[in-house]
Structure 1
Amino acid sequence: MKTAIKYILLSIMILTSYSISAQKGYADKINQSNSKGQKEGFWKEDLKYQITETYYHNGLKSGIFKAFSKKGILTCLGEYNNNKETGTWYYFGDYGHLMMIQKDFRKNTYKTPLEHHAQGFCSFRCYCTTYYPNGNKKSEGIMLFDKDPESDFTFEYGEWKYYDENGNLTKTRVFK
């Protein structure tokens, strides 16, 4: 009986040491730079208002991106390809509820005058859908932006649809 207990304790100690060793090896592989000093691989950064997890290749964001609030709640999930948003991006509120989806990212070909924008037009566009906390659609349409679709300098373009909290279409507006 004592031999069996010693064997179990020895096994636990060995497994624990392997686990600690494996975790150390993983921690050594995050926030690395390549020979050119560019970010490479998985990066976890504690910023002023959020914690981000980003994959890089040759200094460019490439792969899954996640952002978390300081409380550890997922606030954003998306994917980069060569430093550009691609695929579908999901934004979540403080309680984990879906707030917005952005997709169909591409260069903006609409050369519409925007009086509040220095260049007169935005470089990129995406399709944006916002949601009420109950999960019903709030609004949807094309959004124009320059570098970041989360910035304060985004503009609605074309036909936008607006819904009440029950999901009923209440208004359609065309932006030029």
Structure 2
Amino acid sequence: MKNNIIILILIFLSSCNKSVNQYIKNSGNSQQRHGKWVEKYPVNDGEMVASGKYKNGEKTGVWKTFYNHQLYQKDKTINGVTKTKIFHPNGRIMEKGQSRLDVTENGRHWCYYGDWKYYDENGKLETIKKYDKGEKTDSVAIKR
């Protein structure tokens, strides 16, 4: 029993030893972000901290952004599609929708697509905006 506890402690400690904010070199010998990352951004009255994973230079999986230690945004990226939720200070959803990465010869751009829903502080749906290739095509205000 004692040996099992020691083994579990060693496994736990070794799993905590992963590096953060690491680069790898791609085939063109340039560096790409890879693995777990923590990014910090100063803002006027505090700090935003985003954490998640990169795979070969692209964000992947779940990313969480905190504004002054409170969850502000949650993104889930799978196969180039990102589902986003942005939260009011009270923790309720403020907006949610999807975007995808558009890579052209002119560069890289994240484009909104589909329905983006916007909510008030009480969680009531206020507006639905429809996007196609990053362009707003329609906007529907919800009557109460």
Which band: TM-score by shorter chain?
0.5 to 0.7
The answer to whether the 8 A contact 1:124-1:145 is kept is: yes
The 5 A counterparts of 1:100-115 are 100-103=95-98, 105=100
Residue correspondences, number? 125
Q: Which residue is equivalent to 2:106?
A: none
- Between the aligned residues of both structures, percent identity stands at 18
Q: What's the TM-score once normalised by structure 1's chain length? A: 0.57
Structure number with higher strand proportion:
2
In structure 2, give the amino acid aligned to 1:125.
Answer: Y
**AA paired with 1:159?**
D
* 2:128 is equivalent to residue 160 of structure 1: no
The aligned counterpart of 2:105 is none
Higher helix share: 1
Q: What letter corresponds to residue 75 of structure 1 in structure 2?
A: Y
State the one-letter code of the partner of 1:93: H
Q: Closer, same or farther in 2 for the Cα pair 1:138/1:105, shift >3 Å?
A: farther
* Equivalent residue number for residue 44 of structure 1: 38
User: C-alpha root-mean-square deviation of aligned residues, in Å?
Assistant: 3.2
Cα deviation digits, residues 139-173 of structure 1 (max 9, x gap): 00224686xxxxxxxx6x23311135xxx2xxxxx
TM (normalized to structure 2)?
0.67
Structure 1 runs (4+) greater than 3 angstroms displaced: 21-25, 104-107, 143-146
Equivalent position of 2:125 in the other structure: 137
Instruction: Give the 5 Å matches for 1:9-28.
Output: 18=9, 22-23=12-13, 25-28=15-18
Residue equivalent to 1:78 = 75
Query: Is the alpha carbon distance of 1:31 and 1:22 closer, same or farther for their aligned partners in structure 2, counting shifts above 3 Å?
Result: farther
Give the unaligned 5+ runs of structure 1. Answer: 1-10, 108-121, 147-154, 169-176
Would you say the 8 A contact 2:100–2:110 is kept in 1? no
Query: Where do 5+ consecutive residues of structure 2 fail to align?
Result: 103-108
Paired amino acid for 2:37: W
SS at match of 1:22: helix
Name the CA distance, whole Å, in 2 between partners of 1:142 and 1:90: 16
Match of 1:69 in 2: 67
Q: CA deviation at 1:124?
A: 2.8
